[in-house]
Structure 1
Amino acid sequence: MSFFGKNIRKIRSVKTLSQQAFAELFDLKRGTLGAYEEGRSEPKIETIITIANYFSIPIDDLLTRELTVNELLKFKSSLTEQFEVVATERFPSIPCITDTNASDYVQFCEKESFIQDMVSLALPVESEAELRGYVIQSLEMSNQDQGLFPKDLVIGERVKLTKLDKLRRGEMVLVVTKSQLILRRLYVQGDVLVLKADHKNVQEITINRTDVCELWRIIAVFQKRVPEVTNGIEEKLLKLEEEFAKLRGRI
């Protein structure tokens, strides 16, 4: 059995390289590199030679035994000096669901090879959970001139399906079923999930828990447009109108 996959994964860890950065260094696809690391595919001899030479590692050692961290620290490469100076900070790489791959995501979201080949974004989002990006495609989460619009981007962290009851009522989530992607506000009612849009003319959706394949709690929003600065007058007028409506209802 070749130790190539384990060793390159350990090299990446020692050199603090993401799969994408390592793959680009040797003109590989991220999914191809992932297949090497997981032992699902064997590299070409040219690839083995290139990687071994770059890190000054004997080819025999790279293939026939699991290298230790101490050994890897002793091997030299121009990458070490380069990244020690330049890559002082690294944002997480977040696979992103777009207009182009949304329909495929519904079918293949459970396949690791598909996720690895998705377009990824490096964004300043902190979370210990798995993250997923989603490009807004409709006006369902808009409310007049507020809210989310097409081409805005939301970032969600994965929520275990057994933990849905711990989410706050009305929390914004991205729900993945076997047939669709739904971005709404979540209300859990027993075995039923009620998903409500912010747009007043969009009807709510009701689905069973068992229909949910994935659920992502929205933790960050990146808007395509620049928000306008207001003096708060419109908001105050709206509150006054609400108060007048309440008074009229009491008369």
Structure 2
Amino acid sequence: MSFFGKNIRKIRTVKTLSQQSFAELFDLKRGTLGAYEEGRSEPKIDTIIKIANYFSIPIDDLLTKELTVNSLLKFKANLTTDHDIITKQAFASIPCITSKNAKEYLLYNDKEAFVSDMQVLQLPINPDKEFRAFTVDNLEMSSNDKGLFPKDIVIGEMIPKDVYKKLNNGHLVLAVFEDQLVLRRCYLSGNTITLRADHKNIDDLEFPIKEVKELWRIRYVFYHRVPELADGLEEKMAMLQAQFLQIKGEL
């Protein structure tokens, strides 16, 4: 059995290279590199030679031995420990849907090769769960100066189809249909899913649940700008003051 996949994964970790960065060094696609690392595909001999020469590793060692951290770092003082390697490998790689690949995603979201070639975000969240990142491209989830705006990024966790009807109403989701992606709050009733925007001038969308190809519950948000956190605090203070005055008037 070849150790090539396991060894290049360890090389990446020690050299702190992402799959994308490593792949670009050798004119490979990120999905192709992932297939090598997972043992689903074997590299061409010229690729093996390029990698071996680049990192000054004998080809025989690259293919037939499990390389150690010490050998990769040439026994330098700043050795990376096995614990460091495990921590780095725990980062989740999240395929990102953007305005440039959204149309292709609608066509090929069920193709593993396509998904593996998508641009990814790497975040320290549970790597055992499946996530999708989505770049907001409209104002449907905005309300006045709050909410989500274009270029914000949301991270959704996959909801299995058998859990759809158990999802609480009002959750923010990314729903994938045959011909569109919809980021809204979902409300389920019978066999119908209603998707509602926060923007007051946007009408609801209703679909049969069976038409949903994928449903991602939004767990994390990355804002393109710094949100006005003080606004929420002022509203809470005003509410508390009103309640205090009401209580005071009743005494």
Q: Normalising to structure 2: TM-score of the pair?
A: 0.75
Say yes or no: does 1:112 pair with 2:112.
yes
Checking the alignment, whether the CA contact within 8 Å between 2:141 and 2:149 is kept in structure 1 is yes
Q: Say if 1:153 and 1:223, in contact at 8 Å, map to a contact too.
A: yes
The percentage of aligned residue pairs carrying the same residue is 46
- Partner SS state of residue 216, structure 2: strand
Alignment map for 1:1-251 (pairs within 5 Å): 3-4=1-2, 7-12=3-8, 14=10, 17=13, 19-20=19-20, 22-24=22-24, 26-37=26-37, 42-52=42-52, 54=55, 56=57, 58-59=59-60, 62=63, 71-73=66-68, 76-78=71-73, 84=80, 90=88, 91-126=91-126, 128-228=128-228, 229-230=230-231, 232-234=233-235
What amino acid is the match of 1:173?
V
Query: If the length of structure 1 is used for normalisation, what is the TM-score?
Result: 0.75
Q: Distance in 2 between matches of 1:9 and 1:231?
A: 50
Q: Which runs of 5+ in 2 are unaligned?
A: 243-251
Secondary structure of 1:230's counterpart equals helix
SS of alignment partner, residue 179 of structure 1: coil
Structure 1 residue 61: deviation in Å? 7.8
- Comparing 103-112 with 36-45, greater Cα deviation is found at 36-45
Distance 1:61 1:235 in 2: 61
How far, CA to CA, are the matches of 2:241 and 2:203 in structure 1?
28
After TM superposition, the structure 1 stretch with the greater mean CA deviation from structure 2, 224-233 or 102-111, is: 224-233
Structure 1 alignment gaps of length 5 or more: 242-251
Distance 2:227 2:120 in 1: 25
Whether the aligned pair in 1 keeps the contact of 2:5 and 2:39 (CA below 8 Å) is no
Q: What secondary structure is seen at the aligned counterpart in 2 of 1:47? A: helix
| Structure 2 counterpart SS, 1:183 | strand
User: Equivalents in 1 of 2:205, 2:240: separation in Å?
Assistant: 29
Contact 2:136-2:152 within 8 A present in 1 as well: yes
Q: Distance in 2 between matches of 1:138 and 1:196?
A: 14
CA contact (8 A) 2:172 2:186 kept: yes
Residue identity matched to 1:128: D
> How far apart are 1:240 and its partner, in Å?
10
Deviation at 1:44, TM superposition (A): 2.9
Which one-letter code corresponds to 1:230 in the other structure? D
**1:175 Cα deviation after fit:** 0.7
- Residue 201 of structure 1 deviates from its aligned partner by 1.2
Match in the other structure for 2:245: none
Please give the alpha-carbon distance, in whole angstroms, between the structure 2 residues aligned to 1:223 and 1:74. 38
Within 2, Cα distance between the matches of 1:79 and 1:166? 54
Task: Report the alpha carbon displacement of residue 217 of structure 1 after superposing the two structures with TM.
Answer: 0.7
Q: Distance in 2 between matches of 1:35 and 1:237?
A: 57
CA distance in 1, matches of 2:95, 2:74: 25
**How far, CA to CA, are the matches of 2:113 and 2:104 in structure 1?**
13
Residue in 2 that maps onto 1:246: none
Partner of 1:245: none
**Counterpart contact for 2:8–2:37, Cα < 8 Å:** no
Displacement of 1:126: 4.1
**In the TM superposition, what is the alpha-carbon distance from 1:132 to its structure 2 partner?**
0.9
Contact 2:143 2:199 in 1 (8 A): yes
